[in-house]
Amino acid sequence: MKLLYYSPASYGGIADYAHEQANALVDLGVDVILLTTPKYQTDRGEKYKVVPLLQEMALTQPLPHKLLKPIYSSTVILNNFTQLANFIEENNFKYVVLGSYVEYLAPLWSGRLRQLVKKGVVFAAIVHDPVRDFVVGPHWWHRCSIACGYSFLSQAFVHESIKLDTVRPMPKLQTTVIPQGIYHFADANKSRQQMRVSLDLPLDAKVMLAFGHIRDNKNLDLVIRAMVNFPDLYLVVAGKEQSSAQRPVYFYQELAKKLAVAERCRWEIRFIADTEIGNFFIATDITVLTYSSIFHSASAVLNTATNYRQTCLASSGEGSLRSVIQKYDLGVWVEPDDVDAIVKGIKKILENPPNPQWERYLQENSWYLNANMVLKSFKINA
């Protein structure tokens, strides 16, 4: 079986997911070709073929005017879906997986994919974020875009049972719940003591880790406010600013100064290479995943923390993150968007830490099970 995997994400959780899932599909005997960008990270044990034809969404240099950014982004999206359709036709693919469901500008690009469906092509998508409440443009356009984004799909893969809002009836669309495996990154190449010395952290202190992209819905400001109640607790923030539309790291640094906790915060605001990830987890004690109530998807950071067996403090809306935290006791889940809840959660971890069911979680949430369910769904639709 030959399968095309479309993944314009060059790095981050979506790209890591594509890598793990594609490798697992290859292990099941599938010939996987990953259509991605030239900046997609390779040399990490990929068993699939990488074809870097897609255009990178991230800009290497800022545009001279902010109005040019949506024009640039729109051009990239339309160009990439054109490349996808051309590649399918040129190479006679029957099975195609979109690494992430997307609705942006779908009325403009989905028509050609629907034509390919009529020719026998079967499309599926990983719906990482099933609640599409980020509105771009008029509401009617947003709703039309959601419907078009689903219109050519035969299969939608989700990580939590949910009735997808497809806007219009989609009788041919099947929704399948699949598990998400852990992300396999390298072991730490520094000791806990070495990392703590390099980060100027006390060797015996409890340290929280906020890992990954810095964006508003992670409630980092609430975590910093909660630190006021724990004079011996430290925080390491490791990751890049997500975009100019989000609060800059300067906002959080100034808040820490105002609350007199700045001396207990460490800021590694940059892309963290795969070879460094383990060092940050081995140096810390608690991963903070304090998402807001609008977050309903799975968390790549959770499945990274699980790889290093680190307990999490988590919050979110209803969804996969809450379910797995509570089902496998992977940490403490608290009500979202609430400083007092975060304070109580930290206190609970420090005084009565959970007993995570690591092995059960790994057994029931493997990439093998994930890929096997994807493969079975294609055979059903064949």
pLDDT on residue 62: 66
Q: Taking the domain 2-181+366-381, which CATH number applies?
A: 3.40.50.2000
| Sign (positive or negative) of CA dihedral 180, 186, 187, 188 | negative
Place of tokens 């994930």: 370
- Lowest-confidence pick of 64-68, 151-155, 242-246, 341-345: 64-68
Q: For 255-266, how does the pLDDT look when each residue is reduced to its tens digit (9 = 90+)?
A: 999 999 999 999
Q: What per-residue confidence (pLDDT) applies to 11?
A: 87
Of 221, 214, 304, nearest in space to 20 by CA: 304
User: What is the C-alpha to C-alpha distance for residues 344 and 202, in angstroms, rounded to an integer?
Assistant: 24
pLDDT at position 245 is 76
Percent over 70 (pLDDT), the chain: 97
Per-residue pLDDT, averaged over 81-96, amounts to 97
- Distance between CA atoms of residues 29 and 73, nearest Å: 36
| Chain segment 269-278, per-residue pLDDT in tens | 998 998 999 9
3-state SS assignment for residue 25: helix
**What pLDDT sits at residue 61?**
62
Helix (H), strand (E) at residue 126: strand 122-126
Alpha helices in 35-168 (DSSP H): 68-91, 106-118, 139-151
Tokens standing for residue 229: 């109640």
How confident is the model over 279-291, as a mean pLDDT? 97
Q: Is the pTM of this model over 0.85?
A: yes
Give me the pLDDT at residue 357, please.
96
Helix-, strand-, coil-residue percentages of the chain, each rounded to 5: 40, 15, 40
318 to 89, 122, 336, 341, 342: CA distances (angstroms): 40, 30, 10, 16, 17
User: What is the distance between the alpha carbons of residues 150 and 9, in angstroms, rounded to a whole number?
Assistant: 20
Fold of 192-363: Rossmann fold (3.40.50)
Domain boundaries, the chain: 2-181+366-381, 192-363
Average pLDDT, the chain: 93
- Residue pair 292/337 in contact by the 8 Å Cβ criterion: yes
Lowest mean pLDDT segment, chosen from 8-12, 19-23, 57-61: 57-61
pLDDT over threshold 90, residue 134: no
Residue 306 pLDDT = 93
Q: How confident is the model at residue 36 (pLDDT cuts 50, 70, 90)?
A: very high
Residue 64 has pLDDT above 90, yes or no: no
Give SS3 for 50: strand
